[in-house]
Chains A and B, each alone.
Chain A
Amino acid sequence: MNIHSDTPLKNILCMSLFLFLPHNSLYANADSEKGYNIAARSDRSDRGFSDSVVEMTMILRNSAGKQASRTLQFKTLEIPDESVGDKGLILFRTPKDIEGTALLSHAKILKSDDQWLYLPALKRVKRISSRNKSGPFVGSEFAFEDFTASELNKFSYKYLRKENCGKLICDVIERIPLYENSGYKKQISWVDNSIYQLRKIEFYDRKGSLLKELILLDYRVYDQKYWRPHKLKMNNIQTKKSSDLIYDAYKFNLGLTDSDFVKGRLTGLR
Chain B
Amino acid sequence: MSTSELGVADVYDKLDISGNIAFQLRGFTQNSMWKDQNTSDIESSISGEWEIRWQNNSNNQRVSFITFARWDENDKKRSHVDFREAYWAYQNEDVELLIGLNKVFWGVAESVHLIDIINQTDLVENINQEEKLGQPMIRLAFQEDYGLLSFYLLPYFRERTFSGPDGRFRSEAPINADNAKYQSSSKRKHLDFAIRYSHYFGDVDLGFYYFNGTNRDPRLSMGGVNSELLLNYDQIEQIGLDLQYTNSSWLWKLESFVRDGYADSIFAGVVGFEYTFYQVFDGIGDVGILFEYQHDDRSSVESITSADNDFFLGSRWTSNNMNDGSILAGFILDKKTSETFYSIEAKTRLKENFLLSLELKVATNSELGEPNFPQSRDDYLELQINHYF
> Which A residues form the contact surface with B (CB < 8 A)?
53, 55, 60, 62, 66, 68-69, 73, 94-99, 112, 114, 122-129, 131-132, 134-136, 138-139, 181, 223, 239, 251-255, 257, 259, 262-265, 267-268, 270
Contacts and interface: CB of A to CB of B under 8 A. Distances in A.
Contact of B11 (A73, A128, A257): A73
A254 B143 contact: no
Interface pairs A-B: 5 shortest CB-CB: A96-B388, A264-B148, A255-B3, A68-B322, A132-B278
Contact of B94 (A123, A134, A259): A259
Nearest to B119: A123
A80 B14 CA distance: 32
Contact of B3 (A126, A239, A254): A254
A95 B352 contact: yes
Contacts of A95: 324, 349, 352-353, 388
B143 A135 contact: no
A10 to B, nearest CB: 43
B248 interface: yes
A112 B248 contact: yes
A223 B1 contact: yes
B8 A254 contact: yes
Given A96-B18, A97-B355, A264-B198, A127 B105 contact: no
Contacts of A138: 320, 324
B91 interface: yes
A161 B374 CA distance: 75
Nearest to A223: B1
B248 A66 contact: no
Contact of B93 (A181, A239, A259): A259
Nearest to A130: B246
B130 interface: yes
A114 B199 CA distance: 13
Contacts of A264: 141, 143, 147-148, 198
B50 interface: no
A174 B279 CA distance: 26
Contacts of A69: 352
Contacts of A134: 278-279
Contacts of B93: 257, 259
A24 B276 CA distance: 44
A253 B1 contact: yes
Interface of B: 1, 3, 6, 8, 10-12, 16, 18, 20, 53, 55, 62, 89, 91, 93-94, 96, 98, 103-105, 107-108, 130, 141, 143, 147-148, 198, 200, 205, 244, 246, 248-251, 276, 278-279, 283, 286, 319-324, 349, 352-353, 355, 386, 388-389
B320 A259 contact: no
B55 to A, nearest CB: 7
Given A96-B20, A139-B324, A265 B246 contact: no
A62 B323 CA distance: 12
A263 B200 contact: yes
Given A251-B6, A259-B94, A268-B62, A97 B276 contact: no
B286 A132 contact: yes
A263 B201 CA distance: 12
B276 to A, nearest CB: 6
Contacts of B349: 95, 97
Nearest to A124: B105
Given A124-B105, A181-B248, 14 more contacts: A53-B11, A68-B322, A95-B388, A96-B20, A96-B352, A96-B389, A97-B20, A99-B388, A112-B248, A128-B246, A129-B246, A252-B6, A254-B11, A264-B143
Given A68-B352, A259-B93, A127 B18 contact: no
B286 A270 contact: no
A123 B85 CA distance: 11
Nearest to A96: B388
A223 to B, nearest CB: 7
A212 B386 CA distance: 35
A5 to B, nearest CB: 39
B323 to A, nearest CB: 8
Given A97-B355, A124-B105, A131-B248, A255 B8 contact: yes
Contacts of A96: 18, 20, 352-353, 388-389
A270 B248 CA distance: 31
Contacts of B18: 96, 99
Contacts of A253: 1, 3, 6
Contacts of A267: 104
Contacts of A123: 103-105
Contacts of A135: 278-279, 286, 320
Nearest to A254: B8
A132 B349 CA distance: 23
A263 B246 CA distance: 15
Nearest to A257: B93
